[in-house]
Amino acid sequence: MTIKYYGHSCFGIEIDGKHLLFDPFISGNGLAKDVDIESIPCDFMLISHGHADHIADAEAIAKRTGCKVICAFEIHTWLNGKGVTNTHPMNTGGSWNFDFGRVKCVVAHHSSSLPDGTYAGNPMGFVIDSTEGCFYFAGDTALTLDMQLIPMICPPLGFAILPIGSNFTMDYNDAVIAADFIHCDTIIGCHYDTFGYIKIDHEAAVKAFEAENKELILPSIGGELQFG
């Protein structure tokens, strides 16, 4: 499994030759100015919630690639109204088998509205179970006891992508506890540094995980990781 980081909460993950793209927000992110949006491959787009810092580039990339967009029912309806019609509506608790594997939508404790104010349904996290392994993309969320359900209802996680920037989501200390809740010691951090509110001390964040014998990976924007 190849993971490419496009900044903030945007990740491209290749599974069995299929390109998944999570939470596309690139054009509005000064830290990601060197990412060429036009060349990002996308077969399946997964959107955790409607906030602009997760959906800003969704319409343009979906129209360029013709990808299938997996998102909350309300976001599916909103995208359909914009002419993005290859969508798959889901909601918290549901799962579905796609070409690349099974997507299970799990609880995210956050809010969700679209950039024009339209109600966007529940925010969600995703657990992706594929032939190349299982992982959890948390979206924007607080630390929540619901995370304890994930090891009970999903296969063991190879890694998890968790927000660590505080202010709008949990911070890295809470993310250490989240890693315990989900029984996963390899965490990729996201949702930090993009704005003034969420700037973090990288060294302190990595040490907080090390102190609990866990690994926090802070990928560089445009960089690639390999798993499995």
Binding site for Mn ion (CB under 5 A): 51, 53, 140
57 binds Ni ion (CB under 5 A): no
Q: Select 19 or 109, whichever has its Cβ closest to Ni ion.
A: 109
In whole angstroms, give the CA distance from residue 191 to residue 9. Answer: 5
The interface region with Ni ion, picked from 49-57, 151-159, 182-190, 219-227 by CB under 5 A, is: 49-57
Least distance from Mn ion to the Cβ atom of residue 102, Å: 25
Q: Which two tokens stand for residue 25?
A: 């927000």
Among 43, 74, 140, 193, interactor with Ni ion by CB under 5 A: 140
| Burial (CB count <10 Å: 0-12, 13-18, 19+), residue 107 | buried
Q: Which residues does 7 contact at the CB level (< 8 Å), separation at least 6?
A: 25, 26, 29, 31, 32, 35, 194, 221
CB-wise, 140 or 193, nearer to Mn ion? 140
Residue placing its CB nearer to Mn ion in the complex, 1 or 170: 170
Q: How far apart are CA 28 and CA 193, in angstroms?
A: 14
Phi/psi at 161 (nearest 5 deg)?
A: -105, 115
109 binds Ni ion (CB under 5 A): no
Measured from the CB atom, is 140 or 171 closer to Ni ion? 140
Q: How far is the CB of 108 from Ni ion (least distance, A)?
A: 9
Query: Where along the sequence are the contacts to Ni ion (CB under 5 A)?
Result: 51, 140
